[in-house]
Structure 1
Amino acid sequence: MNITEQEFEQFCRYLEQACGILLAKHKQYLVESRLGKILQEGEYKSLGDLVNTLSRPGNSELKEAVINAMTTNETLWFRDNHPYEILKNIILPELAESRSGQRLKIWSAACSTGQEPYSISMIIDEFKKVNSGVFRLGEEITATDICTRVLEKARAAEYEMLALGRGLSQERLKQFFEPGKNEAWSLKKEIKSRVRFRELNLLGLYTGIGPCDIVFCRNVLIYFSTERKRDILQKIHKTLRPGGFLLLGASESVADLNDLYEMIHCRPGIIYRAK
């Protein structure tokens, strides 16, 4: 498939408008590799032909397939480790004391195949075992992603050893998983039951999200323009309770939104408290 510069730019504009993802000029190879099957099966003459079809009303399934193909779903268990240590040693102890009479609500944005929200659930389980009686009204983790394909995998909560080996210790594997079908491992019910998954585009409305005590939005803002990042962070703030916590990726920040968020240095790591 030969993609002209004009067609590539046309597709980049469509993709950013549809889901916010910014594609760099040198990423043309990514479009060729990820959309090749869709172009072939749909018998589209060119990438421009595909974009023109996407732009017409009534092509929601095609749009979903294209977004699924172009979404980067890089994830692993307990990614970067220190955010989860901060969660266990700083955030949960504070919330256990200040909001003991409320249900703990957490949002995992851009959750991919479920490793992040399930890692959060494991941390909660470990915290509750050494702090009996906390969060008596329970915990609820809402996990969202724009990609329907990864959400199906996340809901199944079954992982092969290759995926489990990325960040999950043998101790936690034995504690939180049990042997499943076809050499896969199934997450135990008590960890899985805290998490509910739903489709959500970060560019759209956050209906039904919040009020949250904690929001994980890690390693996703890097794919958006400065203007869209700002808009997303403002909308996330509206989902947080006053004093709630936001955790971003290591290379991400709230930029100049100091009127909305207070930066907290945890050494290692930085978290943000909603004002």
Structure 2
Amino acid sequence: MKPDDPKLTSENELLTNIDPAEFDQFRNLLETASGIHLPTSKQYLVATRLRRIMHDHSFGTLRQLIDNLKQSGPTGLKAQVVEAMTTNETFWFRDSYPFHYLSNELLPQWLSKPLNQRIRVWCAACSSGQEPYSLAMIAAEYARKHSLAAPPIEIMATDISEAMLTRCRSGIYDHLELTRGLSNTLLTRYFDDVGEGSWQVKDALRKQINFRRLNLVESFSSFGRFDIVFCRNVLIYFSADLKTDILARIHQQLQPEGVLFLGASEGLGNASSLFSMVQCNPGIAYRSVQK
């Protein structure tokens, strides 16, 4: 379907002139389903991202979409809408300092203790997988450097989007994605050329990561305890109360002295009493405070 298709254009016009009360209902439904808190100024964003769904389901108004969302289960229309409204933006070794701090400080410190043989890491909101695969490469490089039999990290990665998780598990990335933060050395060492400008993460690395679906508004207590949690660039989409709730529950999943990494523009807010700040020079991490 071409971008200037008249049917799609009319649908976009309908959405950009939606009733404020209907828009509030949509915002509430989205927040309940995913935790995403949309400001009232985001009508154009909604119009842009829902355009294809409106067309595919022959919805002429936002009211029709809302009525169907109320009847949709988590894997139906609701999942499509959450997928459309989720921002999936990431790249390899993003911000760099968490990976340097892990390799140069945390791994040597923790693995020097007799009982610490493996470190459990959770990547929340892993998007298309660059973050957990970056961690897996850090662990593999550490193992190479120190002549370890196996990488010393156990990684679990979660995301709300099944489509993103499918991409993660395939481990296939195109040329543009591979140029964003990945060195040629790591590309040739940990990827296989699968043709047409795409490369696939090697099987050995992919098998190190357990990809699972998780909506952060849901319970994750069954995941067990972690030494490190990456929850970066996702809390900015949630309300202050939900951020505090998620951070408090992450704190419960962290081992004593466990470390949390947030995005560069994110802070602890009302959960600051649960963590102490760690200077990574540059960057900041947060260490779990046990009460």
Does the TM-score normalized on the shorter chain lie above 0.5? Answer: yes
Residue 187 (structure 1) aligns with: 201
1:210-229 paired onto structure 2 within 5 Å: 210-229=224-243
In structure 2, the residue matched to 1:65 is: 80
- 1:75 alignment counterpart: 90
Please, what is the CA RMSD of the aligned residues?
1.8
What amino acid is the match of 1:251? S
Q: Secondary structure at the match of 2:286?
A: strand
SS of the residue corresponding to residue 256 of structure 2 reads strand
Q: Match for 1:91: what amino acid?
A: L
Number of residues of Structure 1 aligned to a counterpart in Structure 2? 274
Q: Distance in 1 between matches of 2:150 and 2:253?
A: 20
Summarize deviations over 1:205-232 as a string: whole Å, max 9, x none: 1043231111000111111111000000
Residues 1-275 of structure 1 mapped to structure 2, 5 A cutoff: 1=11, 2-3=14-15, 4=18, 5-56=20-71, 58=73, 60-98=75-113, 100-133=115-148, 138-275=152-289
1:253-275 Cα offsets, whole Å, 9 max, x none, are 22243432111112101111112
SS of the equivalent of 2:200 reads strand
Alpha-carbon distance, 1:166 to partner: 0.9
Of 31-40 and 258-267, deviating more is: 258-267
Q: 1:100 Cα shift?
A: 4.4
Distance of aligned partners of 1:55 and 1:224 in 2 relative to their CA distance in 1, 3 Å threshold: same
Larger radius of gyration: 2
1:192 and 1:169 map into 2 onto residues whose CA distance is 18
Rounded to whole Å, the distance in 2 between the matches of 1:159 and 1:133 is: 28
In 2, are the aligned partners of 1:213 and 1:241 still within 8 Å (CA)?
A: yes
Q: Distance in 2 between matches of 1:29 and 1:217?
A: 28
Quick one: percent identity of the two aligned structures?
A: 43
| 2:23 partner amino acid | F
Unaligned runs of 5+ in 2: 1-10
Name the amino acid aligned to 2:127.
S
Q: What is the distance in 2 between the residues matched to 1:259 and 1:29?
A: 38
Distance, in Å, in 1 between the alignment partners of 2:74 and 2:184 is 45
Q: 1:59 to 1:214 in 2, by over 3 A?
A: closer
Contact 2:97 2:280 in 1 (8 A): no
SS in 2 for 1:259: helix
The separation in 1 between residues aligned to 2:154 and 2:42, in whole angstroms, is 38
Question: Please, which moves more after superposition, 261-270 or 111-120?
Answer: 261-270
TM-score of the aligned structures, taking structure 2 as reference length:
0.89
User: What is the CA–CA distance in structure 2 between the aligned matches of 1:58 and 1:212, rounded to whole Å?
Assistant: 31
